[in-house]
């Protein structure tokens, strides 16, 4: 017979919640237009977790999704969240990193390379 241990149950619930949260972040946006706003059916698909708290990674949410752009598929075909803020930050920061590297890091290295032997000589 099954013996339900509340601690085990809580652990399983947490694992299931974490997996579901990540799954929904990875399957959120329309693969055609990138929109997160679409119509979807709400059938619950069972997530299998074994006695060692390991999630069955082959889990597939097969709810039907219809996007405003006309795309139709299942939740599993949706793509991860596209983080515009992170992309913008990267675009803004990358020239700053290049400039920093060219005009600060490299000259510093050259100056250090020239100065170090002089300092070493003056110490002797």
**What is the spatial distance between Cα 27 and Cα 40, in angstroms, rounded to a whole number?**
12
Least distance from C-beta 76 to Zn ion, angstroms? 16
Of the listed pieces 7-15, 56-64, 65-73, 115-123, which binds Zn ion according to CB under 5 A? 65-73
**What is the spatial distance between Cα 29 and Cα 78, in angstroms, rounded to a whole number?**
5
- Strand pairing category for 64-67 and 72-74: antiparallel
**79 makes contact with Zn ion (CB under 5 A):** no
- Please select the residue that binds Zn ion; options are 20, 71, 73, 76, rule is CB under 5 A: 71
**33 makes contact with Zn ion (CB under 5 A):** yes
Q: Give the angle 41-45-48 at the CA atoms, nearest 5°.
A: 165
- Please select the residue that binds Zn ion; options are 27, 29, 30, 65, rule is CB under 5 A: 30
**67 makes contact with Zn ion (CB under 5 A):** yes
């Amino acid at each position: 017979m099954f013996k339900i241990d509340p601690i085990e149950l809580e652990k399983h619930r947490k694992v299931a919640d974490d997996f579901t949260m990540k799954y929904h972040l990875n399957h959120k946006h329309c693969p055609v237009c990138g929109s997160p706003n679409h119509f979807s059916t709400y059938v619950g698909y069972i997530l299998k977790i074994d006695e060692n708290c390991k999630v069955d990674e082959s889990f597939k949410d097969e709810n039907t999704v219809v996007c405003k752009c006309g795309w139709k598929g299942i939740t599993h075909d949706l793509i991860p969240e596209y983080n515009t803020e992170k992309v913008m930050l990267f675009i803004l920061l990358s020239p700053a990193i290049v400039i920093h590297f060219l005009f600060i890091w490299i000259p510093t290295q050259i100056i250090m390379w020239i100065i170090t032997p002089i300092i070493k000589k003056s110490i002797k």
